[in-house]
A = this chain, B = another copy of it.
Amino acid sequence: MPSSSPRDSGVLAPVGVFDSGVGGLTVLRALARALPQEDFVYLGDTARLPYGTKSPGSIRRYALQAAALLRDRGVKCLVVACNTASAVALESLAAEFAPVPVLGVVEPGAAAACAATRAGRIAVVATESTVRGGAYQAAIRRCRPDAAVVARACPLFVALAEEGWTDGAVVEAVVHRYLDDLFLAGADTRPDTLVLGCTHFPVLEPALRRVLGDGVSIVDSAQTTAAALTGVLDAAALRRPAAAAGGRIALLATDSAERFARVGGTFLGRPLAPADVEVVDL
């Protein structure tokens, strides 16, 4: 529908959500639930996933290309749902896309961890690049300077989630191998909070909870990112009025619509068909 002014166009424009693949659909799901009147355009850079094992330079270049495509689609705000891109490329993206607000998932994830921890001992599981970049560790210490933070790269969690093996003996064996030395430590040193620092990991939460037990709070960025997005849209007067309710979700991918639909359904929490996915070139 034609807009009467650029300002109206901004309000009615969709929110852009970007991820390296399908994992960010866990974030999209939380955003759409928290802001049901908004339209969303989600882009998964599936032709070049995963970002988590790549170098900072490559990640930055890929993220800027993906964000440019979403800007061309007229988004009013950009959510970087990929932890790796948030950890490595957020400043570059914000500088490039000002005045369009850019929101990452690392700060909201760190805030969730600081809210959940009792003893201030926090473990972060993430991809190699996210762990090496140290963004989570820094963000947690900014909000809780006395926190004891340990970060561990768990790349096989990504493969398990993509394969749809979210439960059972294999997942539990992998969890034990990655995390036993951290969580079998003495009661006065073991973390009381685990941050899922990769958008693929929330689908593994039941298995993680079973292995780690009730004493550990498991948090991810999805809920707090939704709260942060609400704040950003309100602050910029960009929130869509309830009277102009949208609720549409457009899904874009840079590779096979078939695979995006098949694997993505696990993360979005509802079945997807290839026809729901538009393939774009970066």
Interface of A with B (CB < 8 Å)?
Answer: 46-49, 53-55, 58, 128, 155-156, 158-160, 162-163, 165, 168-170, 173-174, 177, 255-256, 259
Task: Report A166 CB to chain B, min CB distance, Å.
Answer: 13
A169 to B180, alpha carbons, bound, how many Å?
14
**Can you list 5 contacts pairing A with B, beta carbon distance less than 8 Å?**
A58-B256, A155-B162, A155-B163, A156-B165, A169-B173
Minimal beta-carbon separation of A22 from chain B (angstroms): 11
Question: Contact: B54 with A255, CB < 8 Å?
Answer: yes
Q: A47-B58, A256-B54, A256-B55 are in contact. Are A163 and B170 (CB under 8 A)?
A: no
CA distance A47 to B54 in the complex (A): 6
Assembled-state Cα–Cα distance A159/B170 (Å): 13
What's the least CB distance linking A13 to chain B, in Å? 30
Cβ distance A134 to chain B, nearest Cβ, rounded Å: 16
Cα(A174)–Cα(B174), bound, Å: 10
Give every chain B residue within 8 A of A55 (Cβ-Cβ): 47, 255-256, 259
